[in-house]
Structure 1
Amino acid sequence: MKRVATLFAGALALVTTNATAQDSAAPVSAAAAPATPAAKAPAPKLIVTISVDQFSADLFAEYRNHFTGGFKRLLGGAVFPSGYQSHAATETCPGHSTILTGMHPARTGIIANNWVDLKTARTDKTVYCAEDESVPGSSSIAYTVSDKHLLVPTLGERMKAANPASRVVSVAGKDRAAVMMGGHQVDELWWWDGKKFVSYAGRTTPAVVQQTNDAVVARLAMAQPAMAMSAFCSAHDRAIDIGGGKTVGTGRFERKEGDTRAFRASPEADEAVFAMAAGLVRDMKLGKGPATDLIAIGASATDYVGHTYGTEGSEMCLQLTQLDETMGTFFAVLDSLGVDYEVVLTADHGGHDLPERNDQHAVPGAARIDPALNPKAVGDAVAAKLGLTGQLLYGDPVGDVWIDSKLPKRQYDAVLAEALALYRAHPQVAAAFSRAEIMAAPVATGPAETWTLVQRAKASFVPARSGDIVVALKPRITPIPDPTKGYVATHGSFWDYDRRVPILFWRKGMAGFEQPLAVETVDIAPTLAATIGLKLGAPMMDGRCLDLDASAGDSCR
C-alpha cells in the first residue's frame, strides 16, 4: 500500500507490521476468492461494520468496476446495490442511528444532525444530536459529546446484554458516527475532534490511539504534496467555476502544514481511522474471546470531500480509490490475525453533486436555493402579512421548521397556515407538511422507493423534537445559496440520490450473489443478529433479516 506507507509509517504501517509479527496465520490478499464453504459455519467471532459517509448508490455504481482492494473483496459477497436510508432526514446522525439499531429515526429519536428546542433553558436553542445540552456553558457548537438523545439500543448493546463477554468498539472521523453506531454501552469509543482522536472524559487512552494521534500530529507538521493522478481519475479532472474566482474538480489533496481542515477532507483521515481500528482489534484481541465482538468504523472523509469539492471531480475519484486501498490493507491485517470476521459496509446517506457541474451535464432542475426560503426570511414575510413582530420561524431551509412556541394558539394557527402557503407556492418547493399531516399519515410498509413524501417525512419524525413544518425541496435544489463561502454541495433531501446507499456483506466462505431489489439499512442489524444467533426481544426492530447464505451459517430461518 504505497501511499499509506508514506503517510502513516507510524500508524497503519506500524499496525500491519506488528499484527503480522504477532500472528502466524496466513494472510488473505485483499481480493482473494472465497474458500469452499463448509456445510454450516459457526457464528463469526467478530462483526465489522463500516459506514462510508456520503457513499451513495450512484457513486458505488460509478466506481464498482474500478475497485481493486477492499471494495473488490466485498463485491465477492452479498451485494445489495439498492439499500435505502428510507427516511427524509438524509443526514449523518439519523443515518448512522439506523445502521446498528435496526430502527428508523422516528424511533431512534435522531431526527436530524441538529434540531431546535425553543424551550431549552440555554441561550442557544439549537440542540446537536450527540450532545448533552444540560452541561452548563455548553452550546450546539461547543458541546459535550453524549449518547443521551439515542432512544434505543444498538446491536452491540443487545450483544452485551445477552453475553457480557462481548466487546463493542466504535471509532469514526465524526463523534456522531461513533456514538450512533456504538450506542450507550461500549468498551472503546473514539472520534476525531478536529485535532486528534478523543473519547469521553475520564477514559484511559489505549496505546494504539496514542500511536495514531502521534502519527497524525507528525504528519500534520509536514506539508502534503499532491497525489498522483491515475489515468482513470484523469477523466474526472475538470475545473468547475463556482464563482468568486474559485474552482473545484481538479484537486489532488495538496495540503499546507498544520491544515487540519484539509486533512479531514482527504484520504489521510480515513487512513488514520482504519489504522486505529486495526490496532484496537489487535491489542484488544477482538474476535479471540469467548463471545462474538463488534467493531463499528465510521469512514467520514468521503462526506467532507463531497461537501468541499462535490461528488464528480478528481477529488472524489482519488478519495474512493484510496479508500479502496486502505480497506484492502485493513482486511489483510484482520486476516493476518487469524480472526473469523464478517463485514457489512453501507452509508449513512447519499449525496448530490454541485449544480454548476450538473449544469454542464445538462441535469434538469439543478439550481441553488433561493435565499428567500430561509426560515427567518419566510417568517419575516409572514410577520409582515399578519402584522406580527419578532422572529416567527426557526430551522434550516430544508427539513424541519419550528414556529415560535410563545405564540397564542390563534396566532400560531395563522402563522402555520400562512407559512405553509408561502412554502407551497414557491417554485423550488416540492411539498410542505404540517406536523398534524405527518402524524396522520400511515406508516409506510412497502418497498422504500414507493414511499410517498409524507411517509418519508414520518419515518424521521419525533413529535417531541420535530418541527411544526417539514419542507421538501424539489429534486436537485441545493440548499447552499453561495458556494464561495464554504461547502459547495450537500445532501439531506427526500430524494433517492440521498436515500439510496449500497449494502455489502462479506465473510470468508460466503457464496457471493447480488440482489437488485430495494432493501433498507434497518435490515442490517436483524441480519447480523441472525448471523450470530442472537434472539431479538423488545424493542422490536423495524428491519427484516436478509437471508445471505445458509451454507455460511447466515440463514434467517
Structure 2
Amino acid sequence: MTTALAAALSITATGAVLAQDMAAPAAPAVKVTAATPAPKLVIAISVDQFSADLFAEYRSHFTGGLARLAQGVVFPSGYQAHGATETCPGHSTILTGNHPAHTGIIANNYFDLSAARADKRLYCAEDETVAGTSSKSGQYAASVNHLLVATLGDWMKAADPKAQIVSVAGKDRAAIMMGGRKADELMWLFPGGLTSYRGVPLSPIAEKASAAIAAAIAAPRPALTLPADCASHDIAIPVGDKGATVGTWRFQRDGGDFRRFMASPEADGAVLAAGAALRAARRMGEGDTTDLLILGLSATDYIGHGTGTEGSEMCMQMLALDRQLGDFFARLDATGIDYMVMLTADHGGHDLPERNRQNAWPAAERVDKTLDPDAMGKAVAEKLGLPQPLLYSDGPLGDMYLSKALTPAQHKAAMTELVARFKAHRQVEAVVTGEELAARPISKQSPDTWTLLDKLRASYNPQRSGDFIVVLKPRVTPIAESGMGYVATHGSVWDYDRRVPILFWRKGLRGFEQPNAVMTVDILPTLASVIGVRLDANKIDGRCLDLLSGPESSCR
C-alpha cells in the first residue's frame, strides 16, 4: 500500500475491495431539483485540521477529488464556531447539528473531580466506569457515552431501521462522534490495522481490510519524490535545540512505525480503501433506503502537528488527498449509484512559530514555560494555605478546575488569586469564569461576528466545563518546547482554528459559492432535508443550508 489511493486499492487481490465496484455503468447526469428523489448514498467526510486557509492556498492546485468538490456548492468560510477548537468537539458538531455546549464534548480531555477512579481526567470518547482504565492513550475503553445528542445516523435509523450507517476513521474520536450510537459498523486505525469497541468483532470484510492495512504498516516506506508544485516549500526550519528540522521530510519510515504511518498520506488511503470495501460488501446505496458512509481522514492533522501547515510535508499531503479522493469518487461513479458528498473539517490549524517568524510574522511565539497551571496552582495553594492539588487542567489554555475539597470561602479566595495571576501574564488574552458563561445565551448571529465570550459560550457545558477558562493571545502556540513529532497545534478561539471549508457535491447539482459565514452545525439539518429525514428543530443549533441555486429550495 503506497500513499496514493489507487495503490491502496490494490488490496483488491486480498478480497478487501470487491471487483463489482467497477461493473455498473455511470448514470447520466440529471439536474437536481427540489423534486429530485433523495440520493441513495450520503458520504460525509471530515479531513482533520483541513483549515479554510489550506483549502484556499491549494485550491488552484487541485485536479482530483477536491477539485470536483470545489465545483459543487462551496462554503469557503465555514466555521467550527465554538472556542474549544479541538478534534473531539469539532467532530461532535459535524453530524449532530449542535455546538459542544449541547453535545457535551467540550474538549478532547476534561476533568470530572467526582469520578470514582483515581484518574479524574476524562477522554472525550471513553467509558471511565470500566475497571482498570485511565484516560491515557491506549489505556481507555472507547465509548460514545459522553456524546449527549443524536447524530445524523441515529436520526436516519429512527426514521428507517433498514438504513445502513458505517463509520471509518483514522481516530476513534472521529469515528465515534460522527458515527453515533446506531452505526452498523464503526472502526478506526490502530497498529494492527482496524479496530472497534472492546468486544465488538469486525465483519469479515473489515477483517480483510484490516489485515491489508496491518501489512502496509509493517512494511518500510522509502522517501517520496517531491512534486514540482511543492518545491517552494522545500525549506528546512530548525526546531528545538537538538538540531532537528521540519520542512524536508518525505514520509519515509521504518516498518512498523505506526506514528509515522498515521502522519502520512498512507493513513487516509487506508481509511478510504476500507470505506470502499465496506460500501461494496454491504451494497450501500444499492437498496431502497438512503445509506450513510462516514469517513474521518486524520493524516492532515498528524502532519500539521508534526511538521506544521506550511511545509513541503503539508503540500505533499494536500496533493495526495486530492488524488486519493479523486480515485475514490471514480470508483463510486463506476457503480452508477446516486450519491452525495459533504466534506468539512473538525477545526483549522496554525503553522509552527519558527516558520511564521521566517515568513513575515515575527510576533509568533511559543507559550512561556511560566504559564504552567500546575505550578500556579501549587503557588496559590501554598500562599493561601489550601489543600493540594488545587488546580486541574489539560494545559496552559482552556478549562481550569478547582479542587472539590475547598470550602466556599476557600474557593472564592482561590478563584480570585488564580484569575488575577493568569490575567497578569503577558500571553493571556482573557480569563472568563464559568458563572459569566452560564449567564450568557448561545449566540444566534453569524459566527464571523461572534465575540470572544460568544465563542466560549458555545463550548460551555455547566456539568463538564471548568471553573474558569484561559484564552491565549493570537498566534501563541501552546507548546512550550518544540521537537520532532509535535511542533504546532490548534485549539484556540481565533479564526485560523475556527474556519473550515464546507463542501457539497452531487451529480447534477448546480454548483455555486457562498462566501458568507455558515457553521458546521448547519450540516446535519442540510443533509437531513436532502434525504427527507425529519428533525426536532428544538434539539439542534444549526439551520438548513439551501443547496439549490435559484428560486427552488432544498430545505423542506
Q: Normalization by structure 2: what TM-score?
A: 0.95
SS across alignment from 1:81: strand
Cα drift, residue 217 of structure 1: 2.3
Contact 2:27-2:337 within 8 A present in 1 as well: no
CA deviation string 1:118-147 (max 9, x = no partner): 111111111001000000001002011111
Q: Which residue of 2 aligns with 1:346?
A: 344
TM superposition shift of 1:381: 2.7
Q: Quote the residue 2:507 is aligned against.
A: 508
2:223 is matched with which residue? 226
Structure 1 residue 193 corresponds to structure 2 residue 194: no
Task: Report whether the alignment pairs 1:122 with 2:117.
Answer: yes
**Could you list the per-position Cα deviations for residues 30-87 of structure 1 after superposition, in whole angstroms to 9, with x for gaps in the alignment?**
xxxx655568321111110000000000000000110011001101110000000000
CA contact (8 A) 2:402 2:467 kept: yes
- The offset of 1:532, in angstroms, is 1.0
Judge which range, 420-429 or 361-370, deviates more.
361-370
| Cα contact 2:94–2:521 (8 A) shared by 1 | yes
Q: Does 1:80 align with 2:75?
A: yes
Q: How far apart in 2 are the matches of 1:66 and 1:198?
A: 35
Q: Which residue of 2 aligns with 1:18?
A: 19
Letter in 1 for 2:203: P
Structure 1 SS opposite 2:166: strand
Moved more, 281-290 or 199-208: 199-208
Deviation at 1:17, TM superposition (A): 6.5
Q: Give the match for residue 556 of structure 1.
A: 555
Q: How does 1:338-377 map to 2 (within 5 A)?
A: 338-377=336-375
Question: Counterparts of 1:254 and 1:456 in 2: how far apart (Å)?
Answer: 40
Tell me, in whole angstroms, the C-alpha distance in 2 between the residues paired with 1:46 and 1:192.
Answer: 23
- The Cα shift of 1:438 comes to 1.2
8 A contact 2:3–2:265 mirrored in 1 = no
Question: Take 1:554 and 1:194, find their aligned partners in 2: how far apart are those partners?
Answer: 46
Once the two structures are TM-superposed, the CA of residue 389 in structure 1 deviates from its matched residue by 4.7
Q: Which residue in 1 is equivalent to 2:213?
A: 216
Distance in 1 of aligned mates of 2:60 and 2:102: 37
Shift of 1:170: 0.6
Q: Which amino acid aligns with 1:256?
A: D
Q: Tell me how far apart the structure 2 counterparts of residues 145 and 553 of structure 1 sit (CA, whole Å).
A: 43
Preserved CA contact (<8 Å) 1:4 1:12: no
Change (3 A) 1:194 1:410: farther
Q: Which residue of 2 aligns with 1:31?
A: none
Conserved in 2, the CA contact under 8 Å of 1:85 and 1:520? yes
Asked if the contact 1:41/1:551 (under 8 Å) is kept, the reply is: no
User: Which amino acid in the other structure matches residue 403 of structure 2?
Assistant: D
Paired with 2:7 and 2:80, the residues of 1 have a C-alpha distance of: 36
Q: Which amino acid aligns with 2:25?
A: A
- 232-241 vs 436-445, which deviates more? 436-445
465-474 or 37-46: bigger deviation: 37-46
CA positional deviation for 1:552 = 12
State the Cα distance separating 1:454 from its structure 2 match: 1.3
Residue 424 (structure 2) aligns with:
425
Structure 1 stretches of at least 4 aligned residues deviating more than 4 Å after TM superposition: 5-8, 11-17, 34-39, 550-554
**2:167 touches 2:175 (CA, 8 Å); kept in 1?**
yes
Aligned partners of 1:184, 1:393: CA distance in 2, in Å? 34
Q: Tell me the TM-score normalized by structure 1.
A: 0.95
**In the alignment, structure 1 residue 481 sits paired with structure 2 residue 476:** no
5+ residue gaps in structure 2? none
Match of 2:238 in 1: 241
Write the distance in 1 (CA, Å) between the matches of 2:419 and 2:203: 53
Structure 1 residue 386, shift from structure 2 partner: 2.1
Q: Name the structure 2 match of 1:260.
A: 258
Residue matched to 1:309: 307
**Alignment partners' CA distance in 1, 2:263 and 2:13:** 19
Query: What is the aligned-residue RMSD (CA, Å)?
Result: 2.0
SS of corresponding position for 2:11: coil
Q: Which amino acid aligns with 1:10?
A: I
Structure 2 residue 411 is the aligned partner of structure 1 residue 416: no
How many angstroms does 1:327 deviate by? 0.7
Task: Give the residue type in structure 2 aligned to 1:508.
Answer: K
SS in 2 for 1:443: coil
SS in structure 2 of the partner of residue 76 of structure 1 = coil
1:422-501 equivalences under 5 Å are 422-484=421-483, 486-501=485-500
Give 1:387 shift: 3.5
Matched, 1:282 2:283: no
Identity of aligned residues (%): 55
Compute the displacement of 1:219 (Å): 1.9
What secondary structure is seen at the aligned counterpart in 1 of 2:128?
coil
Q: What is the distance in 2 between the residues matched to 1:242 and 1:201? A: 39
For residues 339 and 5 of structure 2, what CA distance do their matches in structure 1 show?
23
**How far 1:517 sits from its partner (Å)?**
0.3
Given that 1:101 and 1:541 are in contact with CA atoms closer than 8 Å, whether structure 2 keeps it comes out as yes
CA distance in 1 between counterparts of 2:545 and 2:25 reads: 31
Q: Unmatched 5+ residue regions in structure 1?
A: 29-33
Partners of 2:13 and 2:547 lie apart in 1 by: 31
Give CA deviations for 1:459-515 in whole Å, capped at 9, x if unaligned: 011111110111110000001001127410000000000000000000000101000
Mapped contact 1:50–1:297 kept (Cα < 8 A): yes
Tell me the secondary structure at the aligned position of residue 42 of structure 2: strand
